[in-house]
Structure formats: C-alpha cells, structure tokens
Amino acid sequence: MGLIQELNFSDGNIRYDPNTKVHINLVCSKCGDITDYNNEKVKEVWQQIISGLKIKPKGQRIDLYYECEKCKRD
C-alpha cells in the first residue's frame, strides 16, 4: 500500500483564458484573405472588457475589414 497524493484541481476550476486566444482577423473585403494580427494592447483591453462584463466568454472574434495589398494593386 503506497501513499498516493492526489492533486485534483478539476472541480470548479475552469481552465479558460480568453486573453491568450484573442487576436484580430484582418479580412480583405475583396478577396476574403484573412491574416491573424496579434497585439498585446488588444489583449489587455479585451481582458478589461471581459472583466467588466462579468461573464464567461465561450469564444470571441474580432474582424477588421480592409483591402489587402494584392487587391489594392488591381
């Protein structure tokens, strides 16, 4: 009989950090090309917004529409 130390943090501990996942999708309104844009400031502000809302987000999506370099040239 050994002594087993059980570490169980699964109860009530939701491992969910929306802060690490948030990024801006730069979407070309012409060709639909999507580029991920990561910005520390955005993550910071996003976290503040979520804290203020007092909700548990299931996900998020920030789209920014623009005209990409390819389409601008056409």
- Residue 22's Cβ-count burial label (10 Å; 0-12, 13-18, 19+) is buried
Residues 10-29 that bind Zn ion (CB under 5 A): 28
Query: Among 16, 19, 21, 31, which residue interacts with Zn ion (rule: CB under 5 A)?
Result: 31
We find the least distance from the C-beta atom of residue 33 to Zn ion, in angstroms, to be 5
Query: Among 24, 26, 27, 71, which residue interacts with Zn ion (rule: CB under 5 A)?
Result: 71
Distance, CA of 27 to CA of 55 (rounded, Å): 27
Residues that bind Zn ion in the complex, under the rule CB under 5 A: 28, 30-31, 33, 68, 70-71
